[in-house]
Amino acid sequence: MPKQTRLCFLPSGELTYSSEDPLPDYPLLSHAPFWPKLCHNDSSILNAPKLNSKSHLLRLPDEVLQPILQDAVREPVEFSLEQQAYWSFYFDKFDYDDDDDLVMSEPARGWVRYAAIYRLIWVCKRFHTLLLPLMYENVSLDVTTQFFHCPPQEKLFRDEILRRPLLQNYIKHLAVYNQSLQSPIVQLACAFPNINKLSLKRVRNESEIDLSSIGPAEEQLRTASFTHIQFYDLHMRPEAVKRFLEWPKELHGFVVNDMTSDGSSWAYTEPDPAYRWNHALLVDVLSPQKDHLRSLDVGWLGYDHDQNTFQVSAFPNLRSMALTVAYERPNEEACRNWLTPSLNTLILDLHRNDSQCGPSSHNCMRKRGAESIGSFVRMAREWLEKDGSVVGLRRIGIRAYSRGDDAWRDEEEGYCRHDDYDLEMWTNLIQCLKEIETQGFEAFWDGSNLRRFGFHSFDERYLFKNRDQESRRVSEMNPPEKANEATSASELVSEVRSVAGFVEDQPYSCHLGS
């Protein structure tokens, strides 16, 4: 009979596990403590001499206290057991040996990047109740951490949420790396009651598979709760993905990024025809959810160049669609196949997928590229005027300089460029957006970090003034009478942090139970 293995959290916030079985590969993990089940009494905190005895923090109602606690954590929380989490913690562990060769001490356990919230949930029962759901809201798992001798994070997490089923209720977004669709953690995700989004990265299956192991049994059809799914770096047969899409009750959003790279061919990138995709196959793959889909975001599927024949009419409720058009410019055939009564928003993605550098939109806004966008927009307008009752398109966006190393991101977004290349691309982008507006559509730039900028945000006079305007807007939103309220909120957040700091070294005094 197999021995029990448990996922454990050390007081420092580190993730580890313990087991009655010997662990020859990870000997440092064999004596780790179990998950703590103790925390402090509210009364011991309220009466603590080091804290403000007049504090009303713990007497606030839950609906007021919870946002204060969330603000105290400052940043969005992600329960991360992926390779990046290892790097972020162990990057400071580098040493140099006698020969000045770079040496890295091997990690004995993973690191969970939610130390602040971890401290808060053990302050008292009430904090635990309010913050534990936030702690597990976003979960990211990397199954293979090839650079380290690491414990099996995916299995540990899966075992823990099976042992503590309540945790499954809190998971709203699960991201899994390096797993197949029939893996235990992916199959388990289909049973999470409140999950909204499933992100699968580097999905691989290099051999023949039994499709019945991927899709649901008859009694499980249309039972999964997630409404959005994202595939990144997908390598699966189309019929396997189609079978998996029989899980969700209703799938509203589907994302798949680039499957191939430019400057090559099918013979080089995908010798097996069974793994080749195109837009005609995509229609079939999505057929189990065709009546529910509301948004599609499709990267470059391959060398068949059939995007203009993509039958959007197969999805009667599709409202928003993004398509990569860098390899085949949209034409009148695209208008005929894309412009349906339900499609309201169309995003033209101009990124190419370079085999060496990844996503790039370098030079996409040269004169020729900009003119091709304008040509399509004018054709779309003609179709709208010809029969407006069957064309629902009202918004057209351009996705350029939004991904990869040449992305305009963060503080650069919405501000004027200064070197010659950026200025030319910027000017042509503005001209494209202006042409879209001229033809009667709402125009926007689909920037990085999911930010969208309307055409009028790019007006040059606005660009030089928007910082001052933003300052005035903030002042108008926060008149003097609101200042005291903001100060009070800030003080409460500071108080939360002081409470957490006080309890850090105190002995546990109250059982939470499992």
Contact yes or no for 45/51 (Cβ under 8 A): yes
Tens digit of each residue's pLDDT (9 = 90 or more) over 354-365: 776 777 787 888
Structure confidence at residue 422 (pLDDT)? 76
Cα separation of 385 and 430, whole Å?
25
Other C-beta atoms closer than 10 Å to the C-beta of 418 total 8
Pairing of strands 173-177, 358-360: unpaired
Cα separation of 22 and 27, whole Å?
8
Q: Specify the DSSP element, H or E, that contains 157.
A: helix 153-163
Q: Where are the alpha helices (DSSP H) in 83-124?
A: 83-90, 115-121
Which residues share a beta bridge with 360?
352
Find, among 416, 419, 411, 326, the residue nearest to 365 by Cα: 326
Structure confidence at residue 137 (pLDDT)? 86
Q: What is the mean pLDDT of each run of 10 residues along the chain (514 residues)?
A: 42 43 30 36 47 61 84 57 44 40 35 54 76 83 56 73 88 90 92 96 77 90 97 92 97 93 79 93 98 96 93 98 93 95 96 77 84 94 86 95 71 53 83 94 86 69 41 43 47 58 42 32
Instruction: Map out the domains of the chain as residue ranges.
Output: 42-96+103-136
Pairing of strands 138-142, 102-104: unpaired
DSSP string, 56-83: -GGGS-HHHHHHHHHHHH-S---EEESH
Cα separation of 114 and 132, whole Å?
11
Which residues share a beta bridge with 228?
197, 253
Structure confidence at residue 504 (pLDDT)? 43
- Planar angle of CA 219, 225, 231, nearest 5 degrees: 105
Structure tokens, 177: 């790396």
Find, among 52, 51, 47, 64, the residue nearest to 489 by Cα: 64
Tens digit of each residue's pLDDT (9 = 90 or more) over 240-255: 999 999 999 999 999 9
Distance separating the N- and C-terminal Cα atoms of the chain: 24
